[in-house]
Amino acid sequence: MKRKSVAVLVISALILSFCSVSSAVAVDRSYYFDDKGEEQLYDSRLFFNTSNSESGLTYDVREDNKVVLLSARGVVNFSKTAFFKSGNSTIDGGDKYGTNAAIASCNDSKIRLMSCAIETDGKKAHGVFVYHNSTIRIEDTTVQTKNNDSYNVVASEGGTFNGVSSKFTALNKSGLFLINNGGDISVRFSEFNVQNNVIFRVNGKTGTITLLGNDYSYGEEGKIGTLLEINASKGDGDVVLILESEATLGSIYGNKETSLVINLKGNTSYTGAVNGNKKMGKVSLRMLSSTRWILNGDTYLTAFRNDDAKNSNVYANGHKLFVNGKEVSINQGEPSADWVIDKGDGENKKKTETEEKTETLEEKERKKEKAKLVKLFKIAGYAFSGMLIVTAILLEIYYRKKQKNLEKKTLERASKNKMKKPWDKK
């Protein structure tokens, strides 16, 4: 084989080897720990372990126990993309780890969806599942779930969800929002299609729910369902509910281990009863004088603070308010029918500045990830160049040695046959 052919083969092998290593890094997988503490891998149509951006695509996953989009690291951005998920959850990871969700994040990753559509039709096929200290933010996006035991959004084990200017719809017996073993959900300037379901459920540990300037569409006009239902365990922390510039309907319930803090801000108008079944452990409510509360059932609190000392902004509506077992004097008149919710330009500006700061942090994260990749490829490039140089040197040494051996054999043959050396002078 000629020297050039050997060199080409060696270099080609090195390039193929380098590409194989790079591909292995790109298809890394993510995992979770089941109830037995055993490591289990997620199954997903799309998986990202580094920052990435895509737009204008459609994905449809119909298998059981499979996620459409899973992110485990970095910042992932999708825009104008549709995600469809059918198929059921047949394992225990559906509610706890999001193993059958349309969108799922874990391990400190960040997902941002802009002008997207998410639709699921399967058992425990959640629309968005944010797990284990990760963050998902959606804007101008629609989320719809159709099957039982499915939620539009689940925040689990410290996950954080932010929804802005989006639409949430839960059909049949699916739900809107669930916090499972700790998490935060913030929704602003969005639309809820409630269909008489529980809007928020919180199971265990702590959780913060922040609602600002949202619109609500209820299944049956005049029927008030449940705004928040809490199932806490002994030793769990506070659940915090913040209603700011909201026109919200729905009662609030919890068990004896529940510790709930409610804040009414802006010019919120809240209609509902709190702890009407008297089963909640601790529940406190604070309201500004610019807000109002219309009872639709007897309410039992352990702490109450109103900036309006006369409680003229709390309307009995035929019901009573009790604080630590004592009835509190409230307004017995009719609430005004022309209450207007002012979402406030100043507050919008404040939130926009917060978003810009968040985006700046995301941009820094993307740059950091990009810098890591550039550094990795530089190192790989240096290593590859070094391998080529070493290979060239070894080839040169090999061929020089081969040439010397050839000359030596020629001399030996000439000496043996007593032939005149072809390079001797005549």
Q: Which tens digit of pLDDT belongs to each residue from 242-275?
A: 999 999 999 999 999 999 999 999 999 999 999 9
Residue 32 scores a pLDDT above 70 = no
| Predicted local confidence at residue 196, as pLDDT | 67
- Is 365 inside a domain boundary? no
From residue 127, give the alpha-carbon distance in Å to each of 76, 83, 251: 17, 9, 25
- Relative to beta strand 39-41, strand 31-33 is antiparallel
- Is 228 inside a domain boundary? no
DSSP string, 94-136: HHHT-TT-SEEE-TT-EEEEES-EEEEESTT--SEEEETT-EE
> Pick from 190, 198, 189: which is nearest to 170 by CA?
198
- Do 166 and 132 meet the contact criterion of CB atoms below 8 Å apart? no
Q: What is the mean pLDDT of residues 382-390?
A: 76
Residue 177 scores a pLDDT above 80 = yes
Q: What is the mean pLDDT of residues 235-244?
A: 94
- Is 80 inside a domain boundary? yes
> Pick from 37, 62, 139: which is nearest to 355 by CA?
139
DSSP string, 134-189: -EEEEES-EEEE-STT-EEEEEETTEEEEEES-EEEE-TT-EEEEEESSEEEEEES
Q: How far apart are CA 215 and CA 345, in angstroms?
A: 17
- Do 177 and 184 meet the contact criterion of CB atoms below 8 Å apart? no
Residue 352 scores a pLDDT above 70 = no
Question: How many helices and strands, by DSSP H and E, does the chain display?
Answer: 3, 36
β-bridge mates for residue 265, sequence order = 244
Q: How far apart are CA 69 and CA 102, in angstroms?
A: 6
| Predicted local confidence at residue 28, as pLDDT | 42
Q: Which of 29-33, 48-52, 80-84, 130-134 has the highest mean pLDDT?
A: 80-84
- Do 315 and 335 meet the contact criterion of CB atoms below 8 Å apart? yes
Question: Domain count of the chain?
Answer: 1
> Pick from 42, 117, 100: which is nearest to 73 by CA?
42
Q: What is the mean pLDDT of residues 374-399?
A: 75
Q: Provide the pLDDT confidence category of residue 169 given band limits of 50, 70 and 90.
A: very high
- Is 268 inside a domain boundary? no
- Is 31 inside a domain boundary? yes
| Predicted local confidence at residue 37, as pLDDT | 66
> Pick from 227, 323, 240, 332: which is nearest to 273 by CA?
227
- Is 419 inside a domain boundary? no
| Predicted local confidence at residue 48, as pLDDT | 87
| Predicted local confidence at residue 400, as pLDDT | 79
Q: How far apart are CA 387 and CA 378, in angstroms?
A: 14
Q: Provide the pLDDT confidence category of residue 184 given band limits of 50, 70 and 90.
A: very high
Residue 68: domain span: 1-193
- Is 370 inside a domain boundary? no
Q: How far apart are CA 364 and CA 356, in angstroms?
A: 12
DSSP state of 256: T
| Predicted local confidence at residue 194, as pLDDT | 82
The residue assigned the tokens 């895509």 is: 54
- Is 351 inside a domain boundary? no
Query: Mean pLDDT in the chain?
Result: 83
Query: 33-78: per-residue pLDDT in tens?
Result: 666 766 677 888 888 888 899 999 999 999 999 999 999 888 999 9
- Do 373 and 22 meet the contact criterion of CB atoms below 8 Å apart? no
> Pick from 81, 126, 124: which is nearest to 103 by CA?
126
Residue 286 scores a pLDDT above 80 = yes
Record the pTM.
0.76
> Pick from 259, 301, 303: which is nearest to 281 by CA?
259
Q: What is the mean pLDDT of residues 196-219?
A: 90
Q: What is the mean pLDDT of residues 212-240?
A: 86
- Do 279 and 252 meet the contact criterion of CB atoms below 8 Å apart? no
Residue 16 scores a pLDDT above 50 = no
Q: Provide the pLDDT confidence category of residue 397 given band limits of 50, 70 and 90.
A: confident
Residue 326 scores a pLDDT above 50 = yes
